[in-house]
Structure 1
Amino acid sequence: MSLRTLLIAGLATSASAAKLLVGGYGPTSATIADGYIDTLDYTNGVLKKTAENTEAGAQPAWIDLGLKGKALVVDESWGTPESSSLHTFALNADGSVQHTAVASIPRGGPVSTQLYNGGKNLAIAHYGGHGLTTFSNVNGAFTLLQNIGYENRTTGPKPQQKDGSHVHHSVLDPTGQYVIFPDLGLDVTHVFCIDSATGKLVEHAELQAPTGYGPRHAAFWKSGSKTYLFVIHELVSKVISYEVTYVRSGGLTFKKIDEQSTYGPNADPAITQYGAAAEIAVSPDNKFLVASNRNVTLAQVPNVDPANSTQIDSNSIATFKPSSNGKLAWVQLAPSGGLFPRHFELNKDGSQIAVANQNSGNVRIYKRDVKSGKIGAQAAAIAVPGSPNNVRWL
């Protein structure tokens, strides 16, 4: 075999192999009482579990790979919010994780983390804890800096909002100067400026959502010299795009540009009113916006087990193409591969998307056309225990 042939064969092998981490809530009645962080090997169209760790608590809700060689995981701890915790894992060469540290969190229901200030600080959004916390990070040791609550604020009108603030996501802006927090319960997105000297967050004017919309997650997008913010709203399954202006005296202002249903321009409100939009992300090439829909079944897909011919219900993944003025053009509604796709992630070049279908106990990988933005045929699938809610490409 020639050297050229060997090189091509080597490239083909490396291109078809990858590893993923999937986190989930543990089964309510199983030998695995706690939640889990599983390592998946993805080689030649086959997904296989190669390792499992159950040291991240009962309800691991988020995996953060922002620190080199580490995975940060928060335990949501529904039943015992006083046990909410931040876990640090070392990433081994084979993709498995090794528990190295745990830090207690003084506020319950953590669901999202965001490293900021060059990795020296960490912000945590607390859905069940009605607020947010910040930490200093010194060589992987996390110490509490701030504990900010919104217990006495007026909530939105819907049942999902009545019990208070539900801060659901923490997002760093493109300049690295701000962290924002969509709050489903209060119909606002909290805006904070970073004090780089202390690592603390300084609050500025909020972004007000329409009443009853329930902002859940958000993603910034750069187009030339302009910055836009896309906010996905769980309670109405809509994305709103805003043009962002940086105020010289501090803070951000937002101009609404567009509002679109995550079910497309021909969505039937009689059906989609039951939707619960979840994740939102910009594609790696910065050309598309991808979002997930839960709770509304519009299609069926093959069973994860190829020996089982029974099809299963599937929720959906929406794709938009943002224009330079912030308007969103509809591209596609594709199956997610199961129910309640709480989280998804595109691989590095955007050619594949991994989806964690929480209520179907599976992870699916679909092929994706990077030019059109459309999601295509299934590439691989695997059943996982409990309720998978987070999936990351390593």
Structure 2
Amino acid sequence: MWQAPIFAAFCLPTSLRSFGFAFLDSVLTCSDTMRLQHLPLAALVASTAAVNLYVSSYTYGEITSLKLSKSANGSYTLTTVATNNGSSPSPTWLEKDKYKDIVYGLDEGFTSPNGSLSSYKTSSSGVLTQIDRHLTLGGPVSSIVYNGGKGLAVAHYGGSALSSWAILETGGVKLLQTFPFTLTAPGTNPARQEAPHLHEALVDPTDSFIISPDLGADLLRVFTIDPKTSVLTPSTDFSTPPGSGPRHGAFLVTPSNTTYFFLVSELGNSVTSYRVTYGDKTLGFEEVFTSGIYGNQTIPDGAAAAEAVLSPDSKYLLTSSRNATLFQIPNFNPNNSTKIPSDTLQSWVIDHKTGKLTFHQLAPAGGSFPRQFSVNKAGTLAAVGLQESARVVIVERDVKDGTFGKFVAEIDVPGEVTSVIWDE
């Protein structure tokens, strides 16, 4: 099968400590191959590989479809191909169902007592077609598909709850359960821990447990999954340090079959590794490592740790932090000499034997408030959603040394960008 040529272009000031190069994989069908065989050489040289991304943003209530194209000369182009608005006033999270061509979108519901959950059918063009929409408890901010594609768990920050939904054959959903939580007294940080605030929904590697970091209660809330019904049952919760404010996490299973959980805590601005043990319908977490989110550097005032992503090769943990503009990067507009203040991304090397992390790189995120980012399947590109910059940037990753490299594409997206995901 003919494959698009692979090119790499790389250069960046050494002060940024970010050298990277990568490529965008192209997957062609047999019909594509036959068609290409009959194209002249000039047409092949001009051809591009493309992939769709979906972006949610506050303010305008839009879900924007982007197309990232890479030309034969190695340059990237990021363009808007569609918008889907009106049904979700405050989009906060997008989740691609790996079992179906479906995207689930959450609306945090800033303008009403309820949030909402919508299902969308994807397409090769990038256009999303809404399947259904349901009102939910307030403040949904994260979701995860579980039980082999049969269930969807939703974490509600403002609603202090977790909900579960049955995924239907149509790609739509039906409410199964709600689990509301309360506090008997405010936490160590009363301004942020006046109530439970579940910030993410995660499924463990065995697809047997749902885990939800609760920023308000300093807990990892744990639920068992009934494989027959997708019904969740609360299990034993795990306490994190008082005032740490657990936010997002990622699981890793090593080649020796040891499971680790990496947790980013927003209020404590920390990243922690836990060795995970399995009991009778319980999970155990043994701390093996903890560090400030900036490694050996002083945590800037006002910083707010955000995302945790495992690299596809499981060798690196990638994190982000907001509200601390440690970099001044060249303007994306070559005609504008004004520097852009940039918050940060971090890269950590994972020791598979111990679960410990080694701080590897501090890199610019491309703008302000990298609330969420995601990595393509090859691990060669990261799409970063910059909430306060109203921008999405694409940054290269060197899969050999795990560092973020240069910015290869960027585009302004209306509103406050809350998430950006790949459709590969």
Given that 2:193 and 2:215 are in contact with CA atoms closer than 8 Å, whether structure 1 keeps it comes out as: no
Following TM superposition, by how much is the alpha carbon of 1:307 offset from its aligned partner in structure 2, in angstroms?
A: 2.7
Q: Which residue of 2 aligns with 1:25?
A: 58
Q: 2:150 aligns with which of 117, 120, 130?
A: 120
| Unaligned segments of structure 2, at least 5 residues | 6-35, 71-75
SS in structure 2 at match of 1:118? helix
Residue 358 in 1 paired to residue 387 in 2? yes
C-alpha deviation, 1:160, in angstroms: 4.0
Tell me if 1:230 matches 2:262: yes
CA distance in 2, matches of 1:16, 1:315: 30
Match of 1:276 in 2: 304
Q: CA deviation at 1:376?
A: 0.8
The corresponding residue for 2:132 is 101
Select 2:281's aligned residue among 250, 263, 269: 250
Match of residue 73 from structure 1 = 105
Q: Do 2:91 and 2:105's aligned partners in 1 also have CA atoms closer than 8 Å?
A: yes
Asked if 1:35 is matched to 2:61, the reply is yes
2:401 to 362, 372, 376: 372
Cα distance, 1:352 vs structure 2: 1.0
Q: 2:192 aligns with which of 155, 158, 161?
A: 161
TM-score, normalized by length of structure 1?
0.92
- CA distance 1:55–1:255, shift in 2 (3 Å): same
The answer to whether the 8 A contact 2:89-2:109 is kept is yes
CA contact (8 A) 2:119 2:172 kept: no
Counterpart check, 1:329 vs 2:358: yes
* Cα distance in 2 between the residues matched to 1:175 and 1:3: 35
Are 2:213 and 1:182 equivalent residues in the alignment? Answer: yes
Q: Secondary structure at the match of 2:212?
A: strand
Q: In structure 1, what is the Cα distance between the partners aligned to 2:116 and 2:225?
A: 24
1:218, 1:392 → 2: CA distance?
17
| C-alpha contact 2:161 2:180 (8 A) present in aligned 1 | yes
- Do the aligned partners of residues 13 and 110 (structure 1) sit closer, same or farther apart at CA in structure 2, a change above 3 Å counting? farther
Residue 330 and residue 252 in structure 1: after superposition, are their counterparts in 2 closer, same or farther (change >3 A)?
same
Q: CA deviation at 1:327?
A: 0.5
CA distance in 1, matches of 2:3, 2:117: 48
Q: Which SS does the other structure have where 1:135 is aligned? A: strand
Kindly provide the amino acid, as one letter, of the partner of residue 314 in structure 1. Answer: S
Percentage identity across aligned positions?
A: 38
Q: Distance in 2 between matches of 1:93 and 1:153?
A: 50
Match of 2:129, SS state, is strand
Kindly state the Cα deviation for residue 152 of structure 1 after the two structures are TM-superposed.
Answer: 3.6
Aligned residue among 292, 299, 312 for 2:327: 299
6-15 or 334-343: which moved more? Answer: 6-15
The CA distance in 2 between the partners of 1:173 and 1:290, in whole Å, is 18
Contact 2:119–2:173 (CA<8 Å) still a contact in 1? Answer: no
**Length, aligned pairs only:** 380
SS of aligned partner of 2:306: coil
Pairwise CA RMSD: 2.1
Residue identity in the other structure for 1:319: S
The amino acid across from 2:287 in the alignment is: K
Equivalent in 181, 197, 203 of residue 150 of structure 1: 181
Alignment-mate amino acid for residue 246 of structure 2: P
Which residue of structure 2 lines up, in the alignment, with residue 29 of structure 1?
none
Amino acid at match of 2:337: S
